[in-house]
Structure 1
Amino acid sequence: MFDSLYAALAAVPPAELVLVAVMAFVASLIGGVAGYGTGVLMPLVLVPIAEPENVVPIVGMTALFTNPSRAVAFREYIDWRRVGIVAACALPTCILGAYGFTRLTGRGALIVIACTLLASVPLRRILQSRGFVIGDRGLGIGAVGYGVLVGGTSGSGIVLLSLLLACGLTGRAVVATDAMVSVIVGIAKVSVFGIAGVLTPKVIAFALMIGVVVVPGAFIAKALVERMPVRVHTAILDGVIIIGGVFLMWNAFAR
């Protein structure tokens, strides 16, 4: 098994591996500060290097490193009641979404990822501008739709983030609760990918490499969270998401 993992990474030029590692560390810092970012930034470098159909499984496995470390770093701020509501409602549809992704072609995977990226920015701004507020029932209903997205796409964390903000959580409580929910649905998602046979040596090798890089980012982010202007980071991230979404969509139709 080790030989196959090593062979998968050895086939990739060292410069590209370094690029993936650097992006992973930056994404983990942004994710730890803003509550999301890893799932929307990593596809920008993984699509041309690891192939589109491998991106969601790689990011899904990587999340099993990113989110537990973030949950531990912010553990005192976790809202366990909201975690239970979202997990109970999102798990069934997450499994369906993950299975649906395994049936996509390379072009289909590119289109799904690109659409998720492009829709995430206006969705967040619309919800914030309207002062969207929901109760536990609305959170559960929203979690059903979130489950489909998180199961079959990369970068859907913005939906969960918006739901948690809309139900009254703020600041570090959002980051912590988001991370704990993501741990739970992430295990279900990766389990489906494993059963479907999409966790190839290449997927596992990239996920392990990225995982080693992203774990320290959560703890560094916690140390910086009170010093870094989240609004500035969010604005930069929005720009990167839009550019990346357009680039991936162009690649999908140029194939």
Structure 2
Amino acid sequence: MLIELSLLMWLVVILAAFFCGILHGATGMAGGLVMTAILTQIIGIKAAIPVMTVGLILSQISRAYLYWVNADWQIVKRVLLSGLPTLILGSYVFSLLSPLTITAIFLTFLIFSLPVKYYARNKNIKTSPKVLSVASVFWGALAGNVIGPSFFLAPFVLGIGISRLTFVGTMAMITTVMNFTKIVVFSSTAMMTPNLLILGIIVGMLMMPGNWIGKVILHKIDDKMHLFLIDFLTILVIINFIYLLYSGLR
């Protein structure tokens, strides 16, 4: 896989990974989704998700270090205890799906994430511990099949009543454990090859310095701008996967 990338494609990967690292640090979740969309255009979605699973662990370790003191550990514990069993099951199911099916699942998930988020914001939903646990079960199933399941989980975590800094720190801890678990499952199947592992490490290392810049940006923007950036990037990624699905069906 690595030797098949041209010099131009390597340049695209390097620049995109650094830029997406900035997005990841500034938004808490959108960077990985955007990088997955870019890699899908280069190596296909079936390979892009294992690569980004590895890459995001490195990126998230740096974010976890940056926002360690901001994390809400009670939320982290509740989400992982409820979501890890379905995450493991979802990751195994993912290894059995075709690229076109994965694209359709990814697209459906992203499209439905928008009205869910807007409903949660407009209704000012307050999340109880029990509701968060139930939402985490569904989040785990999604997390096994897509990159960016935080878009589903985010309204429920924010509904607890936390700041954007606490949100970013909490999600960094949750997603680090999530992606490590996915790597273990993928490694037990034929999905995680040595070449994809190496490419994932490269992408993750390139994203890490961008996280530091993203942290500076996060401290300078308000909550409204933070939400706008996430929604805008989500729409761009939806357009990308509509194109991929259309191309695959032709």
Q: Which range, TM-score by smaller chain?
A: over 0.9
Cα contact 1:117–1:244 (8 A) shared by 2: no
Q: How many angstroms does 1:210 deviate by? A: 0.5
What are the Cα deviations for residues 61-87 of structure 1, in whole angstroms up to 9, with x where unaligned? Answer: 112111111111111101111110001
Work out whether 1:76 is the aligned partner of 2:72.
Answer: no
Q: How many angstroms does 1:242 deviate by? A: 2.8
Backbone CA RMSD of aligned residues: 1.6
Structure 1 stretches lacking a partner, 5+ long: 1-7
Partner of 1:4: none
1:217-232 aligned at under 5 Å gives the runs 217-228=210-221, 229-232=225-228
Work out whether 1:44 is the aligned partner of 2:31.
Answer: no
Of stretches 64-73 and 121-130 in structure 1, the one that deviates more from structure 2 is 121-130
Cα contact 2:30–2:234 (8 A) shared by 1: no
Cα contact 2:132–2:156 (8 A) shared by 1: yes
Work out whether 1:118 is the aligned partner of 2:111.
Answer: yes
Cα contact 1:39–1:156 (8 A) shared by 2: no
TM-score (norm 2): 0.92
1:15-94 aligned at under 5 Å gives the runs 15-94=8-87
Partner of 1:238: 234
Q: 2 CA distance for matches of 1:184 and 1:131? A: 29
Q: How many angstroms does 1:48 deviate by? A: 2.4
What are the Cα deviations for residues 22-62 of structure 1, in whole angstroms up to 9, with x where unaligned? Answer: 22222221121122112321222111211221122111111
Structure 2 stretches lacking a partner, 5+ long: none
Partner of 1:203: 196
Cα contact 2:18–2:210 (8 A) shared by 1: yes
Q: How many angstroms does 1:219 deviate by? A: 1.7
Count of matched residue pairs: 247
Q: How many angstroms does 1:140 deviate by? A: 0.7
Q: How many angstroms does 1:92 deviate by? A: 0.3
What are the Cα deviations for residues 212-240 of structure 1, in whole angstroms up to 9, with x where unaligned? Answer: 11111222211221224424523431331
1:138-149 aligned at under 5 Å gives the runs 138-149=131-142
> What letter is aligned with 1:50?
I
Of stretches 207-216 and 13-22 in structure 1, the one that deviates more from structure 2 is 13-22
> What letter is aligned with 1:240?
L
Match 2:124 to one of 123, 131, 155: 131
Of stretches 173-182 and 49-58 in structure 1, the one that deviates more from structure 2 is 49-58
> What letter is aligned with 1:133?
K
TM-score (norm 1): 0.91
Q: 2 CA distance for matches of 1:161 and 1:20? A: 28
